[in-house]
Structure 1
Amino acid sequence: MYEIPAPMLAKAAAAVPDPSKTPMLFEPKWDGFRGLIAWDGESLEIGSRGAKPLTRYFPELVEQLPGILPGPCLLDGEIVVATGPAGAQRLDWEALSQRIHPAASRVAKLSVETPAMFIAFDLLAEGDDDLQRLSFRERRARLERMLADATDPLHLTRTTDDRAIAQRWLEEFEGAGLDGVVAKPLDDPYAPGKRTLIKIKHARTADVVALGYRVHKSGSGVGSLLVGLYGDDGVLRQVGGVAAWSDAMRQQLVEDLEPLVERDAEGAAVTGEGERSRFSGAKDVSFVRLRPERVLEVKYDQLEGARFRHTVQFARWRPDRDASSCTYDQLDTVAGYDLADVLT
């Protein structure tokens, strides 16, 4: 079996980059679970962005892909689920996320009701050839040859080197449930775990770690969820909070987060002291500590220093993400601009 590496990652950008400066290939950004398919001719494994293998959650891919792949290989791509009538299908995140379930019977049922597809966009090994040191240009050419006759549920992602077409994809493909465009330097080797790709999304989002919650002012339910990011030094730092939950959701969160609550030797929940500002005054800023294991995606507007400028919005849970992958380097970096030029 091939050794499955950490996948190559992307850093956010505000606009589609100009390929005339650095030769690039553009791809649609699929909204699914990142997966690395390792097929050695006898068994098939599905790796993920983190330490959690995805093999058991997608038995239909394990069963069907060996009959489609022409030979042993290591593929990088995205696992997606599409729902809706013919001619109006779109990616369905909720249906996909339901696949991360502890009951094998539930997974098997969903694999029939909402079968997954694998969208391949890179080839890391073919037969005995390790291709990671080759340029993406060479890897893509070999991937196209290998998957020339691929059939559902295995698909080869489309690409373009035309910036105008990539911009059109960014605008049009959202209607099919995709969430942006990825730009990949053509001359770069594969870089496991490095953010050398560029992603352009419809909104600024970040994957963050749930590290605690404050009880709602009513005395019942979650009032706000505190979230954090890992710095270059490996330290998890609080970067903001998520609030504005419905009454029902506040109560549901207490139940959902209960297994993560840190407890002392007597079984009591461990609390922490939140950060104070000049606006907090005597306000209670204590919070219930959570083990940093649950990842969520949030929408944000901008950073101020090392924190989100405003309260962020909950987008969705990310059961496919490891907490350790939630770092600052995933965030969009805004180019500096002189205020004097704005004033004049």
Structure 2
Amino acid sequence: MTPRELPLQPPVDVALARAVPTLPTAPPGRRLAYEPKFDGHRLLIFRLEDAVRMQARSGRIITRAFPDLETAARPLPPGTVLDGEVVVWAGGRTDFAAVQKRAFAASGSRASRLARELPASYAAFDLLATGAEDLRPLPYAQRRARLMALLEPLGPPLQAVPMTTDPGLAATWYEALPEIGVEGLVIKDLDQPYRPGRHWRKVRHSETRDAVVVGVVGPRLRPRALALVLPGDDQPVISAPLSPGVRAQLTTALRERLERPEQPERPAPQPPPGELPTAPDRVGAEIAYLPIAPDLTVEVRQESTVRHAATTVIRLRVPD
């Protein structure tokens, strides 16, 4: 099969979920699927004819960051396209900060080291293509059945997410799964094709979530705001202005980072101010930020505005 015969190649626009306040049930004549919502790093895996490519939600190709998953995906048939989340398990729980370290590995040697220290698991929740066939127009029930048949012989680290059509079992999952770091469920219509946009639904236990700090706005040791990456995404956003208490927490943490002995694989020197990266703030304006290594995690709350979600930092997460 030549590359031209493959039905899907990166980049591909992904399906998303909109938040709902309570666990929905199916209306008469409809069927729903309930799946755990892993707060990891959204990733599409493309098994091309002679290579594996991995695409983040934004469309970026980040294959180099996950050499362990690249190796695991090689037995897939050419033409296979999986959609799912990368997670890292630590102490029996998912660790969002750890998976972001993996996703933002800046070099091949660092990515290989992190793959040994923080091995990734891939929670696949959809099969978009196989062989020369584009499966996106098919109902989810059919895509799910083919996903299970494809991955069952392979086993970890490529696995299908659990799924149930039983609302009672889904409610049990919703109450029990936070113990392992899974904060909610994604709900899909079994008769639904795969389409870009927010056609799925999600329900979460908490109004807050964790985010990884990838940059600072303002003075390096006393920032006014933060550039953050949220679960399931790889495009930074700028937080709302920080409260005095949070700024004090961050000042201490950032100073400690600077005082650590230099490591052999520190990030490359930062670009000059005129070439700093930018990210949208709560009203959509692009704000420049100074990148930092993704070593800090904060708890945030998102509140909808007319145009964008305002991301407010509640506190710095301190490792256990």
**TM-score with structure 2 setting the length:** 0.72
Tell whether 2:222 aligns with 1:222. yes
Instruction: Return the letter of the residue paired with 2:13.
Output: A
Give 1:164 shift.
2.0
Distance in 1 (CA, whole Å) between partners of 2:216 and 2:240 is: 11
**1:211–1:290 CA contact under 8 A, matched in 2:** no
The structure-2 alpha-carbon separation of the partners of 1:170 and 1:152, relative to structure 1 and needing over 3 Å to count, comes to same
Quote the offset at 1:226 in angstroms.
7.0
Contact 2:138 2:194 (8 Å CA) reproduced: yes
Task: Rate the CA distance shift 1:241–1:261 in 2: closer, same or farther, 3 A.
Answer: farther
Q: How does 1:236-275 map to 2 (within 5 A)?
A: 240-243=240-243, 244-245=245-246, 247=248, 249-250=250-251, 252=254, 259=270, 263=274
- Paired AA for residue 49 in structure 1: R
- Per the alignment, do residues 49 and 307 of structure 1 end up closer, same or farther by CA in structure 2, a change over 3 Å counting? closer
Say which of 39, 42, 51 aligns to 1:43. 51
User: Cα distance, 1:204 vs. partner?
Assistant: 2.3
1:41 offset after TM fit, Å?
Answer: 4.0
**1:176-325, aligned counterparts within 5 Å?**
176-192=180-196, 194-205=197-208, 213=217, 221-222=221-222, 224-225=224-225, 240-243=240-243, 244-245=245-246, 247=248, 249-250=250-251, 252=254, 259=270, 263=274, 290=288, 299-300=300-301, 302-303=303-304, 312-313=313-314
Partner residue in 2 for 1:65:
73
In the alignment, structure 1 residue 116 sits paired with structure 2 residue 120: yes
Task: Report the more deviating stretch, 116-125 or 15-24.
Answer: 15-24
Q: CA deviation at 1:63?
A: 1.4
Q: Is the CA contact 1:37–1:44 (under 8 Å) kept in the aligned structure 2?
A: yes
Match of 1:29 among 31, 37, 42: 37
CA contact (8 A) 2:97 2:212 kept: no
Instruction: Confirm whether residue 167 of structure 1 aligns to residue 171 of structure 2.
Output: yes
Match of 2:9? 3
Aligned position for 2:136: 132
CA apart distance, 1:247: 3.4
* d(CA) in 2 for partners of 1:176, 1:104: 30
Q: Aligned letter for 1:147? A: L
Provide, for residues 29-51 of structure 1, a one-character-per-residue CA deviation record: whole Å limited to 9, x for no partner.
11211111111242111111013
Question: Which blocks of at least 5 consecutive residues in structure 2 are unaligned?
Answer: 229-236, 259-266, 277-281
Q: In structure 1, the residue corresponding to 2:246 is in which secondary structure?
A: coil
3-state SS, counterpart of residue 198 of structure 1: strand
The Cα of 1:121 is off from its aligned counterpart by 0.9
**What secondary structure does 1:15 align onto?**
coil
Cα distance change on mapping 1:165 and 1:292 into 2, 3 Å? farther
Would you say 1:83 and 2:90 are equivalent positions?
Answer: yes
Task: Rate the CA distance shift 1:185–1:208 in 2: closer, same or farther, 3 A.
Answer: farther
Measure, in 2, the Cα distance between the counterparts of 1:109 and 1:239. Answer: 31
Matched residue SS, 1:222: coil
> Which residue of 16, 20, 28 maps to 1:13?
20
The TM-score normalised by the length of structure 1 is 0.67
Q: Secondary structure at the match of 2:164?
A: coil
CA contact (8 A) 2:216 2:223 kept: no
Name the structure 1 match of 2:100: 97
Cα distance per residue 1:213-259 (max 9 Å; x no partner) = 466xxxx943531789xxxxxxxx99843333253623729989x95
Larger deviation: 307-316 or 149-158?
307-316
Provide closer, same or farther for how the CA distance between residues 90 and 239 of structure 1 changes in structure 2, counting only shifts above 3 A. Answer: closer
The 3-state SS of whatever aligns with 1:164 is helix
Quote the offset at 1:263 in angstroms.
4.3
Separation in 1 of the partners of 2:150 and 2:115?
26
Give 1:108 deviation, angstroms: 0.6
**Which deviates more from structure 2 when the two are superposed, residues 27-36 or residues 99-108?**
99-108
Identity across the alignment (%): 29
User: 1:298 touches 1:314 (CA, 8 Å); kept in 2?
Assistant: yes
Task: Tell me the matched-pair count.
Answer: 277
Q: In structure 2, how many angstroms separate the alpha carbons of the residues matched to 1:187 and 1:59?
A: 35
2:173 partner amino acid: W
* C-alpha deviation, 1:120, in angstroms: 1.1
Secondary structure of the residue aligned to 1:300 is strand
Sort the Cα spacing of 1:315 and 1:71 in 2 relative to 1 into closer, same or farther, 3 A: farther
Q: CA deviation at 1:55?
A: 0.5
Letter in 2 for 1:222: R
